[in-house]
Every structure is written in C-alpha cells, then in structure tokens.
C-alpha cells in the first residue's frame, strides 16, 4: 500500500467505503520470472464487500470472484 500511494490521488481507495478497514491486499513476488503459473498466481485482492473480491493475477489479468 505504501509503495502505491505516490501514484494514487485518493488514499481512501485502500479502505472499504465508510470505514478504515483495509480492502486491498498485495502479495509481492520476489521474482516474477520465477512464477510458474502466472495466470493462476494471485498477486493482489481487493475486497469490495458482499462476498465479492477483485483478484489481480501475475500475468496482468483481473477477475471478479464471488466467495460467498
């Protein structure tokens, strides 16, 4: 989160609306070249609430997922 702050104008994007609960999790990879399955490796999750999550993958694609 700290590394992304300089690039994002509104710092509240990291929190669930109306709360101070962190909605964004980032899972840094030490070396992206070593990731065996980039299309299946989650590098970040945004919890948008109501059991919906936005998942960011190492190959660059993003997918919404219902985990209810």
Question: What domain count does the chain have?
Answer: 1
Q: Cα(61)–Cα(67) distance, rounded to whole angstroms?
A: 18
pLDDT in tens, 1-10: 677 777 777 7
pLDDT of residue 51: 84
The CB-side HSE value for 43 (13 A sphere, CA atoms) comes to 16
% of the chain beyond a pLDDT of 70: 94
Element at 66 (helix H, strand E):
strand 62-66
pLDDT of residue 1: 66
pLDDT of residue 58: 92
SS3 23: coil
pLDDT in tens, 23-47: 888 888 878 888 899 999 999 998 8
Tokens standing for residue 39: 């299309």
What is the extent of the structural domain holding 47? 5-66
């Amino acid at each position: 989160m700290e590394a992304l702050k300089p690039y994002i104008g509104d710092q509240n994007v990291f929190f669930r609306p109306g709360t101070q609960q962190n909605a964004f999790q980032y899972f840094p990879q030490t070396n992206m070249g070593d990731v065996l399955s980039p299309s299946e490796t989650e590098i970040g999750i945004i919890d948008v609430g109501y059991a919906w999550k936005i998942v960011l993958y190492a190959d660059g694609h993003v997918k919404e997922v219902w985990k209810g």
